Chain A
Amino acid sequence: ETGVTQSPTHLIKTRGQQVTLRCSSQSGHNTVSWYQQALGQGPQFIFQYYREEENGRGNFPPRFSGLQFPNYSSELNVNALELDDSALYLCASSLALVEGRNEQFFGPGTRLTVL
């Protein structure tokens, strides 16, 4: 069973640029969630995708967008990067809508630095 993978591991961008982060979900999972974890903080929910549709969004501006593909892998896109976007971005996959199985499995994260 393959776990959640993310790429790239590290990324350095400058203000105003755009970035795409990628996530492959765990085998058999149909839902992907993205979280932003600033240094010294807990993860903050960005959004979730279920069967290629956005299924909930946290308090993040529209310049944070995403996609989910038929194989359930996902992308997180951030436009017009700001310094405060520097963080660890975590992807988590789960098998949604199975009562009692809300457990999410996390990837290792992508460390984004905005200069």
Chain B
Amino acid sequence: AQTVTQSQPEMSVQEAETVTLSCTYDTSESNYYLFWYKQPPSRQMILVIRQEAYKQQNATENRFSVNFQKAAKSFSLKISDSQLGDTAMYFCAFTGSGTYKYIFGTGTRLKVLA
């Protein structure tokens, strides 16, 4: 069975500093997609960044970047220059190529401190 594990229930970071959120997953598939979603208190899930497993280059979106280690089945999110608006729940999600569902981790609650 495919699983996604986020081992950090809560984290905090000072404004302007860098923080890394961890995610590991388990799958027997060779091609798949990984995502980080942000869910602020307003509840709407917002895509932060995505990674295709067949791409060796780590994805980057402005202040957000990932460290994708396929052999280790690890997919961490690094947030640089943290801003107060980054305060939210962050979910790591997996989906196989051509499949129909996302598998989410249990989330990490991130609080950015002024």
B46-68 contacts to A, CB under 8 A, are 46-47, 50, 52
Is B30 part of the contact surface with A, judged by Cβ < 8 Å?
A: no
Indicate the member of B42, B45, B97, B98 with the most A CB atoms within 10 Å: B45
Name the CB-closest residue of A to B105.
Answer: A42
Chain A residues positioned under 8 Å from B46 (CB to CB): 106
Is A100 part of the contact surface with B, judged by Cβ < 8 Å?
A: yes
B residues neighboring A (CB under 8 Å): 4, 33, 35, 37, 42-47, 50, 52, 91, 93, 95, 97-107
A residues neighboring B (CB under 8 Å): 31, 33, 35, 40-45, 48, 50, 55-56, 58, 88, 90, 92, 96-97, 99-100, 102-109, 111
Q: Is the CB of A102 within 8 A of B95?
A: yes
With the chains together, A67 CA to B32 CA distance in Å? Answer: 28
Chain B residues positioned under 8 Å from A102 (CB to CB): 33, 95, 97
- Min distance, Cβ B57 to any Cβ of chain A, angstroms: 15
- Min distance, Cβ B3 to any Cβ of chain A, angstroms: 11
Chain B residues positioned under 8 Å from A103 (CB to CB): 35, 47, 50
With the chains together, A41 CA to B6 CA distance in Å? Answer: 11
- Min distance, Cβ B112 to any Cβ of chain A, angstroms: 20
- Min distance, Cβ A32 to any Cβ of chain B, angstroms: 11
With the chains together, A56 CA to B96 CA distance in Å? Answer: 13
Q: Is the CB of B107 within 8 A of A42?
A: yes
Question: Which of A56, A88, A106 is B101 in contact with, Cβ under 8 Å?
Answer: A56
- Min distance, Cβ A58 to any Cβ of chain B, angstroms: 7
Chain B residues positioned under 8 Å from A56 (CB to CB): 99-101
